[in-house]
Chain A
Amino acid sequence: MEEVKKQTRLGRINFRDQRILMVGVILLITIVVSAISPKFIEIRNIVAILQQVTVLGILTMAMGLLLISGGIDLSIGNIMVLSGVVISKVITGGGSVTWALILGLLTGLACGLVNGIIIAKSRCLPLIITLGTSQIFLGASLMLTGGRFMNFKKKFDFIGRTRIFDVFPVMLIFLIVMVAFAFILLNYTRFGRRIVAIGGNEKNAYLSGINIDLHKIIIYSISGIISGIASIVFVARLDSITATAGTGYELRALTAAIIGGITFDGGKGTIGGAFIGVLLLGIINNAMNILSVWPYAQTAISGGIIVVAVILSNLENLRKASR
């Protein structure tokens, strides 16, 4: 047993390579930017960064779980908005906050369930299916709002504004809970092990007695609920919503997950890695603001940093391939 323990540690070190690399990139940016502008490492700024990435972070958990299971969901941005629109409808219609939250989450669940059933039963590519359903959800939001800007008139902003001890924003609890949820689900439950197995080799998983369809439906449903939870934070921060507000979030979540070492092939990657990816994206944006980089150049620069980060993280594979 003594020996087995030692082996465990060896295995772990090997497994973490890529995440360590990304943490390195984060540290490098932190050191360089703090040297220029010490404001960057003040508690206030660190909290601000976390606040800025809360919505993205929650959505990335959904995307990460899906990618690890060999799937993908490009509709999470628009599911989030549709949930937000439902919440706004309930609130503006005079409903209670509780009902708004319940219906918002149910909307997310329903959207994810639809995705899951279609993908499991039709055996079509999830990329294409969710690209399509994404448009349906966006369309639903447009129809419900009539394309208008929905204001919550501060009935719903306590989540966005409240701070514990004047420092710690309540919305961060949502982020922490969701990261913990995804982490536990993936690493400490049978369901988690099975979705990794499906992502690793679906045929093998099927022959090993795993009910593939059921697991897919559940994982897409979870993705829908997580998007619904993201929407609570989203509307609470903005205190308003428009149908097109979520466009692009799914791709940023995808980027964060991939930077963090999750691959399109499935079966690989960690929740911790995905979270590091989220942090990296947040830090890049924040650093550029602190350094007052010309706003019109920021998009291109952050794109460049993402490309470099992904190439760095792929170096090991490159080395393997050339052998």
Chain B
Amino acid sequence: MSYSYKGKTPVVDMRQISKAFPGVQALSDITFDLYEGEIHCLVGENGAGKSTLMKVLSGAYAPDGGEITIDGNTYEALTPKLSQELGVGIIYQENDLIPTMSVAENMFVGLEKVNRFGFLDRRLTEESARLEVEKLGIDLDVRRKIEDLSVAEQQFVKVLKALVLKPRILLMDEPTSMFNVKDVGKVLDLTQRVAKQGISIIYISHFLKEVVQIADRITVIRDGVVVNTYKNATRDIDLNIITTDMVGRSVDMFYIKERHAIGPVVLEVKDLQLTKDSPKVSFEVREGEILGLAGMVGSGRTELVRALTGADRFYGGSIKYKGEHLTLRSPKDSIDQGFAHITEDRQQLGLMLGQSILENMTIVGLGKKIKEFFFKLVGHQKLVAPLVEDLSIRTPSLFQQVQNLSGGNQQKVVLGKWLFAESDFYVFDEPTRGIDVNSKAEFYQLMSALTKEGKSIIMVSSDMPELISLSDRVLVVRKGEITGEIPQEEISEERIIKSALGM
């Protein structure tokens, strides 16, 4: 043990942690430790394994191998309950506060303060809340309702709520991803105040500039492996070292795409503005091209493509497809023009889970491919069967409910419904998220084949190898704005990461 923070032994010591999911090794032999009062930042790309590691610590996942030592006691796996008893507190990215309740009430949800008759004691609740607020030395009226607070103040309340449980270890997952610059400072300041109380903090963020300001140590993980852990006592580590660690993969992770000639411009987006205050976005897509949209989660890529397909209304700007101006009031308008939209969340948005493959695959093409007024669903089997074969969807029957299929097969059904409708312009949002390696490769082949036929693709992806292997051109989006355009021959992880992080 070469590192010792202020001469103490570690509070948390995770050794050789491994965790595999079907088709992907999420963590391999990760070693990670944390000292009392230390802020240890965890950085890495989307999907590098940060969240999985934290879920192992919070007890949500049991690791396949390795051990976790907390305060000298060693465990093979934790449960959420055990983790909490050991003093692990978590602040999630999502807002879990109740907007109509006050700060004090929110802090004590589930641990309500009552008087001796068993009734809620408002005064005691507020006093206890105020005590916590004072300990942190921040300025916040505990009687205010959550809905009246700024986003940063709400983040304070989330921290306060976690502190009520008297944690000794606090996990903070992207606490600043929603904020503007001024508020980010407040949250960083708060984090440091919490650490001063002797609470150890694991801080996950992809805003490297923030990380450098507060981290005692920084650990970079990539593809489930710890690349390096850096000391940052003087808060001046070189960001370039970290980004270099975040990228740099071995060649075998990349798919080799067959390149072919790219045609004329088919889609012209000009000064597209999602809301009144959002930046104007302009770009073009060519025939037979895969245009990759890179950026961090929450950078506004999904919102951008949702506007393109008519899923959401937008404020201003124009979209021209094959020389004609598009008016998009609903997805129907874009679908009529031949657009396909493979959504980010197939279960919530892309499928009718309780219904059959047959019903799911025919739903978009109903009007276009199936023109009879009266028909028999069974009769559509012969229309769909060849497609199911082409997509190699593995199923015993076309009447199989989609919820019983694997993620990869489900995603193929989603693509299948657009192929059935004979779409020309495909928008993929995270096309291979959560599907196994083999299905991924098959999916890439399908996408590649589509462009070869002269169809165009916009692909939002957080999967670096995917973006690099498939894209003919990459646009980097940051805070709703296109901050970089990278031609095919210059696409590299480093270029993308730097552009996405605003460096």
Q: Report which A residues bind B (CB closer than 8 A).
A: 1, 4, 7-8, 10-12, 14-15, 184, 187-190, 193-194, 196-197, 200-201, 203-211, 265, 267-268
B251 on the A face (CB < 8 A): no
**Interface range on chain B: under 10, 10 to 19, 20 to 34, or 35 or more?**
35 or more
Interface positions, chain B 361-414, Cβ under 8 Å from A, are 362-364, 366-367, 370, 373-378, 381-382, 385, 396-400
- The one of B330, B370, B373, B385 in contact with A211, judged by C-beta atoms closer than 8 angstroms, is B330
29 A-B residue pairs with Cβ-Cβ distance under 8 Å, sorted by A, are: A1-B382, A1-B385, A7-B396, A7-B398, A8-B378, A8-B397, A11-B399, A11-B400, A14-B399, A189-B373, A190-B366, A190-B370, A190-B375, A194-B363, A196-B352, A197-B355, A197-B359, A200-B353, A200-B354, A201-B349, A201-B353, A204-B351, A205-B363, A208-B364, A208-B417, A209-B335, A209-B336, A211-B330, A268-B354
Closest Cβ neighbor of B417 among chain A residues = A208
Docked-complex contact B335 and A208, CB < 8 angstroms: yes
Closest Cβ neighbor of B362 among chain A residues = A193
Give the docked Cα–Cα distance between A154 and B373 (Å). Answer: 41
Question: Nearest Cβ in chain A — how far from B152, in angstroms?
Answer: 31
Question: Nearest Cβ in chain A — how far from B400, in angstroms?
Answer: 7
- The one of A188, A189, A207, A211 in contact with B343, judged by C-beta atoms closer than 8 angstroms, is A207
Give the docked Cα–Cα distance between A184 and B377 (Å). Answer: 11
Give the docked Cα–Cα distance between A265 and B367 (Å). Answer: 26
Docked-complex contact A193 and B363, CB < 8 angstroms: yes
Give the docked Cα–Cα distance between A14 and B399 (Å). Answer: 10
B348 on the A face (CB < 8 A): yes
Question: Nearest Cβ in chain B — how far from A236, in angstroms?
Answer: 31
Question: Nearest Cβ in chain B — how far from A61, in angstroms?
Answer: 18
- The one of B350, B354, B359, B399 in contact with A193, judged by C-beta atoms closer than 8 angstroms, is B359
Minimum-distance CB pairs A-B, first 5: A11-B399, A200-B352, A7-B397, A209-B335, A209-B332
- The one of A184, A201, A206, A267 in contact with B330, judged by C-beta atoms closer than 8 angstroms, is A206
Question: Nearest Cβ in chain A — how far from B338, in angstroms?
Answer: 11
- The one of A4, A12, A14, A203 in contact with B385, judged by C-beta atoms closer than 8 angstroms, is A4
Question: Nearest Cβ in chain B — how far from A186, in angstroms?
Answer: 10
Closest Cβ neighbor of A200 among chain B residues = B352
Q: B417 to chain A: which residues have CB within 8 Å?
A: 208
Give the docked Cα–Cα distance between A129 and B367 (Å). Answer: 31
B356 on the A face (CB < 8 A): yes
Docked-complex contact A267 and B354, CB < 8 angstroms: yes
B341 on the A face (CB < 8 A): yes
* Given A4-B381, A8-B381, A11-B399; A188-B352 close (CB under 8 Å): no
Could you list 17 further interchain pairs (A-B, Cβ under 8 angstroms) beyond the known A8-B399, A14-B399, A193-B366?
A1-B382, A1-B385, A188-B375, A189-B374, A190-B366, A190-B370, A190-B375, A196-B352, A197-B363, A201-B352, A205-B352, A207-B331, A208-B364, A209-B335, A209-B336, A210-B363, A267-B355
B190 on the A face (CB < 8 A): no
Docked-complex contact B349 and A211, CB < 8 angstroms: no
Q: A267 to chain B: which residues have CB within 8 Å?
A: 352, 354-355
Question: Nearest Cβ in chain A — how far from B318, in angstroms?
Answer: 22
Give the docked Cα–Cα distance between A1 and B332 (Å). Answer: 33
Q: A4 to chain B: which residues have CB within 8 Å?
A: 381-382, 385, 398
Q: B366 to chain A: which residues have CB within 8 Å?
A: 190, 193-194
Question: Nearest Cβ in chain A — how far from B179, in angstroms?
Answer: 28
Q: B441 to chain A: which residues have CB within 8 Å?
A: none
Give the docked Cα–Cα distance between A211 and B367 (Å). Answer: 12
Q: B374 to chain A: which residues have CB within 8 Å?
A: 184, 188-189
- The one of A15, A188, A204 in contact with B350, judged by C-beta atoms closer than 8 angstroms, is A204
Q: A14 to chain B: which residues have CB within 8 Å?
A: 399
Question: Nearest Cβ in chain A — how far from B362, in angstroms?
Answer: 7
- The one of A1, A184, A206 in contact with B331, judged by C-beta atoms closer than 8 angstroms, is A206
- The one of A11, A187, A265 in contact with B398, judged by C-beta atoms closer than 8 angstroms, is A11
B262 on the A face (CB < 8 A): no
Question: Nearest Cβ in chain B — how far from A160, in angstroms?
Answer: 32
- The one of B349, B354, B381 in contact with A203, judged by C-beta atoms closer than 8 angstroms, is B349
Give the docked Cα–Cα distance between A210 and B421 (Å). Answer: 13
Q: A8 to chain B: which residues have CB within 8 Å?
A: 378, 381, 397-399
Q: A207 to chain B: which residues have CB within 8 Å?
A: 309, 311, 331, 341, 343, 349-350
